[in-house]
Amino acid sequence: MKMISAKPTDPFQIAIIKSNFNTIITTRLLDGAKQRLLERDFSDEQITIVEVPGAIEIPLVAQHLAKSKNYLALIVLGVVIRGETSHYDYVCDQVSQGCQRVSLDHDVPVIFGVLTTENRQQALARCGGTHGHKGIEAVDAAIEMVSVLQQLPS
């Protein structure tokens, strides 16, 4: 029986795509992710950060980065907060499906660090508050996924 699980891996080229909408929250997510990458021995030269206007723009940039084959993992960071209209549902659906499509089409982990919350307080609780830090968790998930994929047969 062969067990495949995440093992420590050497740092690699990684990209983070950050939405600038709700920038106070997304900046906190990015700061946590950058700090965690440095803790995991990534250098500044191994980290690419791309900023986009909003969450809906994330999948297109993820696709371009994945097609470049320069990165072993992508992390997407953003926040979509429910409002009074159905706009929230459309944005969440498009962003999540777009990121999944990029991951499957290009064989690269796209770690979904886009918060989808009912209100601003829930979002703040997930970027260093009572519900942890999703930017940090996204980095750990990216590293684990690269490790697992490296162990799978081609």
What digits encode the pLDDT tens for the residues 26-73?
Answer: 999 999 999 999 999 999 999 999 999 999 999 999 999 999 999 999
Q: Express each pLDDT in 99-118 by its tens digit.
A: 999 999 999 999 999 999 99
Active site residues: 87
Q: How far apart are CA 126 and CA 29, in angstroms?
A: 9
Looking up tokens 């307080």 gives 121
Distances (CA, A) of 105 to 14, 24, 51, 109: 18, 32, 22, 10
